[in-house]
Structure 1
Amino acid sequence: MTRFSVLDLVPVVEGGSIGQALASAVTLAQAAERLGYHRYWVAEHHGMAGIASAATAVTLAHIGQATSTIRIGSGGIMLPNHSPFVIAEQFGTLDALFPGRIDLGLGRAPGADGRIAQMLRKDLMRAAEAFPSDVVELQALFAGDSRLPLQATPGQGAAVDIWILGSSLFGAQLAAMLGLPFAFASHFAPAALDQALGLYRREFRPSQRLERPYVAAAINVIAAPTDAEAVLLGSSMDQSFVALRTGTPGKLKPPVEGYRQSLPPSALAMLEGFREASAVGSADTVRTRVAAFIERTAADELIFAGSTHDPAARVRSLELAMSAVEGL
């Protein structure tokens, strides 16, 4: 049976604050736990006024204290931004605080535009090239490999579940080579979805971590009592994506009636591509579209993405979506 999980961008809404966004994240994670979602992930993004999870490990500690059973983790940590040693310490600490609950999804993108390299004082192009070896080093740090010059404390011996994330074939190939679970970012970059999952499954090599391929695929899900209300709620997410792609990102805006009809053809086409992996509508509509996505991907797990301007609407969306997809 397919598992269902949650990706939360911890959105800062127009008219709201970072503190309110972090409080809403706790409410959402608690709802996800109560409803039976398998895991709750947040992602590393930098310099974006509308996303409050840049300090990802700190955000996860905040969530962990407010929950008790749901797995929590990163979807993901952008490893080229960091020393593997520091990430081992951070997530080793999280594992000590919340044992058996910590996921570490790893990506090789910077999580920001080119200015982040200057702010981090790093050559991110070279760091991205070192991504595979950094993942292996991180595994060695958690394993307490005696060949390392220094052990990570916390970190050594931590039971952190490492994932490879990706929106292209590179992540799929690396996850297959290392025998790690693979999560595909189809919620915003669906173009290579089918090819990436096929490559991962074809080339997968069993490891101590995993005997057979394990795939998670992200899908935007906004559920509401009616299709029309869900489409209206989803217009906040649409506005956010168009703003990001046109170089004007900001806080998450309120819904706009008829937003898609107001767009020029080029922007609408771009949005349609982004929304390919989406289930926006009533419970019946969500069930139909999620079932089709499961059939397309044969994913072991789906990760429900999607932001709403009203945090309560996202909680209600998770409730309706879970009732719609139970048994799929």
Structure 2
Amino acid sequence: MSNLTSKKLSDLSYSVLDLVPVLKGGSAGDSIKNTVDLARHAEDWGYKRYWMAEHHNNPGIASSATPVLIGHVAAHTTSIRVGSGGVMLPNHSSLVVAEQFGTLETMFPERIDLGLGRAPGTDQLTARALRRDYNGDGQDFPEQLAELRAYFQPGKQAEQMSVRAIPGQGLQIPIWLLGSSGFSAQLAGLLGLPFSFASHFSPENTLPALGLYRNSFQSSDVLEKPYSMVCVNVIAADSDEEAKKLATTLQQYHLNIIRNTRGPLEPPVNNIDSICNGYEKAYLEQKLVRSIIGGPSTIKAQLERFLEETQAEEIMINSQIYDHKARLHSFEIIADILNDR
């Protein structure tokens, strides 16, 4: 494992994961406008990537048509990389994904990332409505991935294929594998691909998956050595007290998941204990154990500890904050810390 403990936060690349949350009392249109606004600010603040995730049949998330949103955000920014965190490959034909991202890369050269996951990004009933193979469960993900990568091959290799992705063929689109457990971590390592781990909702698997990725890594034409990005919940404000209140929105988001009552993002509350029982509170503590919440000094200290523990090459920030101005301010505080300003 490479030793990054001497590296400063200001040496890291840092990026944004946007779930395009629909707010209580708002609309999907409002959320997309907020996404464009955040992306523009993130670009100004030095964030490297702006990723959006594929979710379906969820009234609180407006990013179901992920490639469409990627094109929209890329068109309203100039330099930040825009991509998927991720596209759930088993939901789609590999050819369609290759054509979509080939088109995006053609429109926005050297700015598009293709992050891939193997989970459905939804419930099983919706997954059945999405997929061409009703029996698909993601176990053939390696084969689908190989098919997708073949569509991007250049030259004679691609020309010999009976079906080609146009646009797509010959384009150098970075492919990332995303995961919340060990499956994609090991696959990314064996293929020599960059790996992004979802610590923001699977904190207990973070270190084992990163270790598996690094231990299984084999150099490739893509990477000579492992490159890991870890996504973490970060909610920053001017004080610890203010941040903790903002974070009750994130807590309610996870409460709605375990209660199976998914809906729009809720405004913060004064006391999370007043709306959850002991079992639910314990669940929240487990799920959000690696979440970083506080004022600037607290955020900096916890990010430094997170870097030391994960040895990540890049950090991706997820911030489920109800108020858009407060969300912007959170990302600005984080950028100031990471830029050592």
Q: TM-score range by the shorter chain?
A: over 0.9
Structure 1 residue identity aligned to 2:236: A
Q: Which sections of structure 2, spanning at least 5 residues, go unmatched?
A: 1-10
Higher mean C-alpha displacement, 125-134 vs 304-313: 125-134
Matched, 1:218 2:231: yes
Instruction: Quote the residue 2:4 is aligned against.
Output: none
2:35 aligned with 1:22: no
Q: Is the 8 A contact 1:81 1:124 kept in 2?
A: no
Deviations 1:267-290, CA, capped at 9 Å, x for gaps: 011111111221111011110111
Q: Does 1:162 align with 2:175?
A: yes
Residue in 2 that maps onto 1:91: 101
Equivalent-residue separation in structure 2 for 1:277 and 1:122 (angstroms): 37
Runs (4+) off by over 4 Å: none
Q: Secondary structure at the match of 1:184?
A: strand
| Distance in structure 2 (CA, Å) of the matches to 1:154 and 1:103 | 15
* SS of equivalent residue, structure 1 residue 126: coil
State yes or no: 1:253 paired with 2:272: no
Contact (CA 8 Å) 1:186, 1:217: kept in 2 or not?
yes
Cα drift, residue 137 of structure 1:
1.2
1:290 and 2:300 equivalent? Answer: no
What is the CA–CA distance in structure 2 between the aligned matches of 1:29 and 1:135, rounded to whole Å? 29
Shift of 1:147: 4.1
TM-score relative to the length of structure 2: 0.93
Structure 1 residue 35: deviation in Å? 0.1
Q: Is the 8 A contact 1:163 1:182 kept in 2?
A: yes
1:64 and 2:110 aligned: no
Counterpart CA distance in 2 for 1:135 and 1:70 is 26
Q: Is the 8 A contact 2:17 2:50 kept in 1?
A: yes
Give, as a single letter, the amino acid of the residue that structure 2 aligns with 1:148. M
Structure 1 residues 183-222: aligned runs within 5 Å? 183-222=196-235
State the AA in 2 paired with 1:190: P
1:218 CA displacement: 0.8
Q: Deviations over 1:75-115 (max 9, x none)?
A: 00000000110000000111011100110000000000011
Q: Secondary structure at the match of 1:128?
A: coil
In the TM superposition, what are the counterparts of 1:64-83 in structure 2 within 5 Å?
Answer: 64-83=74-93
Aligned counterparts of 2:86 and 2:135: Cα–Cα separation in 1: 18
Q: Secondary structure at the match of 1:88?
A: helix
Q: Contact 1:35/1:319 (CA < 8 Å) preserved in 2?
A: yes
Moved more, 91-100 or 261-270: 261-270
The answer on 1:241 being equivalent to 2:254 is yes
1:312 to 318, 322, 325: 325
The alpha carbon displacement at 1:148 in A equals 2.3
Runs (5+) with no aligned partner, structure 1:
none
How far apart are the structure 1 equivalents of 2:161 and 2:270?
A: 57
1:303 is displaced (CA, Å) by 0.5
Indicate conservation of the 8 Å contact 2:243/2:295, yes or no: yes
Give the distance between the partners of 2:33 and 2:44, measured in 1 at CA. Answer: 17
1:192 aligned partner, one-letter code: N
| Conserved? CA contact 2:92–2:131, under 8 Å | no
- CA deviations on 1:125-171 (whole Å, 9 max, x unpaired) are 53511101111111111114344221101111222110000000001
Aligned 8 A contact 2:12 2:338 in 1? no
* Count of aligned residue pairs for this structure pair: 328
Q: What one-letter code is carried by the residue in structure 2 that aligns with 1:44?
A: E
1:285–1:124 Cα change, 3 Å: farther
1:325 to partner: Cα distance: 2.7
2:124 is matched by which residue type in structure 1?
Answer: G
RMSD: 1.4
- 2:58 is paired with a residue whose SS is coil
The CA distance in 1 between the partners of 2:136 and 2:18, in whole Å, is: 29
Matched with 1:107 is 117
State the TM-score, normalized to the length of structure 1: 0.97
| Secondary structure of 1:51's aligned partner | coil
